[in-house]
Structure 1
Amino acid sequence: MLIGYMRVSKTDGSQTMDLQRDALLVAGVDAGHLYEDQASGNKDDRAELTACLKALRANEDTLVVWKLDRLGRNLHHLVNTVHSLTERGIGLKVLTGQGATIDTTTPAGKLVFGIFAALAEFERELISERTKAGLASARARGRKGGRPYTMTVAKLRLAAAAMGQPETKISELCTELGITRQTLYRYVSPTGELRPAAHQLLNTRKSSPRKTEHIVPHKPGISPPYDTK
């Protein structure tokens, strides 16, 4: 069975589905099997596209679109979508535009899409290569890439004080500090001792020109030597 998908970018009525709908109906798609979105192609949350993809039956249905740009938000998304359809035994037909020769139900169409897949892989490798080069350049200039610390010296200070107290509830402490349990234990032991990651954080702060804070691990039965407000 043929299932049609249509999309226009604007929701103010300046764009209509008429051209796409007429083309899909002529191609043999039943009017009751049409899905339509009024949303930018860059959006991930296209409700009707999600519903359409879920409704397609494995080894029975074929998805029909007017142009390729109606389906994928970019080349990577398009290739992944069609690869998923192919794995499920679902075909894809494109009626017009640059992708009009694509019909994955035929050997020739599969060959054309294979070229698209190769281009997408090439694009991913280029992005990866540029990212690695950028990180190497940043490291050469003394800057480090990657995610920023979720643990700060201030949070570490509170965590070290609280972890040594038997009444401390780990879940509440993590919520209060805005960190995960895994992050907490990476920096502080259950008894309040500082772990290597904590010392690394402190050493990083010491290397900055700003004033650093002195952290003293809390011992059970001893009041924290600093204000924890």
Structure 2
Amino acid sequence: MTKLIGYARISTRNGATDGQRAELLAAGVRRDDLYVDEGSSGARAPRPQLDVAVTALEPGDTFVIVSLDRLGKSTQNVLAFAEGLSGRGVELRVLNFCGGDVDTATPPGPMLFTTMAALGQMEHEIKRERVLDSIDRRRKAGKNLGGRPRRITNRQIRNANRLMEAGEPTALVVRDFGMSRATFYRRARALGLMPDQSGDEKPEIDDAV
């Protein structure tokens, strides 16, 4: 028997869990088939309940979410996830997509993948151009990006992370920003851009944004 498997992700910055849960239940998801990750923020934050939900899916089931951003911040990653579900014979239903409820099992369903693919490509180009333009402006202003600055700002860490997510090699990105890999990973964990694997490192004090 096919089922509706629901998933909700609540970030550390937003404790409003009831909204997503209520919408998924109203869409027909049973409480026993609803999986919620609470306190998950950042593109690389662990989401154990998402893994459990995906494992529970069987061919013919439908994976239900309130909005695409519950799966991740990168449109390209979300598209890959959706295509993975399709390859397993699982449908995807998004309750709030372009102002409506879209299900890949219905005639308007292909629009979901087409739109996500277009947005993913646009997102990639925008991120890459924005960060590279910033680097170019700093070079023209005579600021040396090749050496290691005394202070790496939070903005630089976020921009470096955006470049890496857009596909730029890590070695080249950290070189352009004048930092080491270790500095980037430590600061990225402190900003919640990736999970903290050590649990005992103290983030550097940096008020710049």
Looking at structure 1, the residues matched to 57 and 99 of structure 2 have their Cα atoms a distance apart, in angstroms, of 21
CA distance in 2, matches of 1:114, 1:122: 12
More strand by share: 2
CA contact (8 A) 2:5 2:61 kept: yes
Distance 1:139 1:29, change over 3 A: same
2:48 is aligned with what amino acid? Answer: A
Does the CA contact (< 8 Å) of 2:40 and 2:46 recur in 1?
A: no
Provide TM-score, normalisation by structure 2. 0.55
Instruction: Point out where structure 1 has 5 or more consecutive residues left out of the alignment.
Output: 151-229
Partner SS for 1:107: coil
Instruction: Indicate whether 1:5 and 2:7 are aligned.
Output: yes
User: If the length of structure 1 is used for normalisation, what is the TM-score?
Assistant: 0.51
Following superposition of structure 1 onto structure 2, how do residues 148-187 of structure 1 map, counting pairs within 5 Å? none
Cα 1:40/1:56, change in 2 over 3 Å: same
Query: 1:67, 1:130 → 2: CA distance?
Result: 26
In structure 2, the partner of 1:93 is: 93
CA contact (8 A) 2:11 2:40 kept: yes
Change (3 A) 1:75 1:99: farther
Task: Report if the CA contact (8 A) 1:36-1:49 is conserved.
Answer: yes
Matches within 5 A, 1:195-214: none
1:91 deviates by 1.0
Question: Matched residues in 2 for 1:60 and 1:51: separation?
Answer: 17
Larger Rg: 1
Which residues of structure 2 form unaligned runs of 5+?
A: 147-170, 181-209
Q: Which has the higher contact order (CA 8 A, sep 6+)?
A: 2
Aligned to 1:35: 35
CA distance in 2, matches of 1:136, 1:110: 39
1:78 shift after superposition: 2.0
Alignment of 1:1-229 (within 5 A): 1-10=3-12, 14-17=15-18, 19-43=19-43, 44-57=45-58, 59-96=59-96, 98=98, 100-128=100-128, 146=172
Secondary structure (helix, strand or coil) at the match of 2:36 reads strand
Q: Deviation per CA, 1:1-32, whole angstroms, max 9, x where unpaired?
A: 110112222499x5333x33332223222221
Contact 2:12/2:41 (<8 A) preserved: no
Equivalent residue number for residue 198 of structure 2: none
CA distance in 2, matches of 1:88, 1:82: 10
- Alpha-carbon contact 2:76-2:116 (below 8 Å) kept: no
Give secondary structure in 1 for the equivalent of 2:7. strand
**Separation (CA, whole Å) in 2 of partners of 1:66 and 1:143:** 42
**Pairs aligned (count):** 147
Moved more, 94-103 or 41-50: 94-103
- What is the percent sequence identity of the aligned residues? 35
User: Equivalents in 2 of 1:79, 1:62: separation in Å?
Assistant: 16
Equivalence for 1:166: none
> In the aligned structure 2, how far is the partner of 1:134 from the partner of 1:143?
11
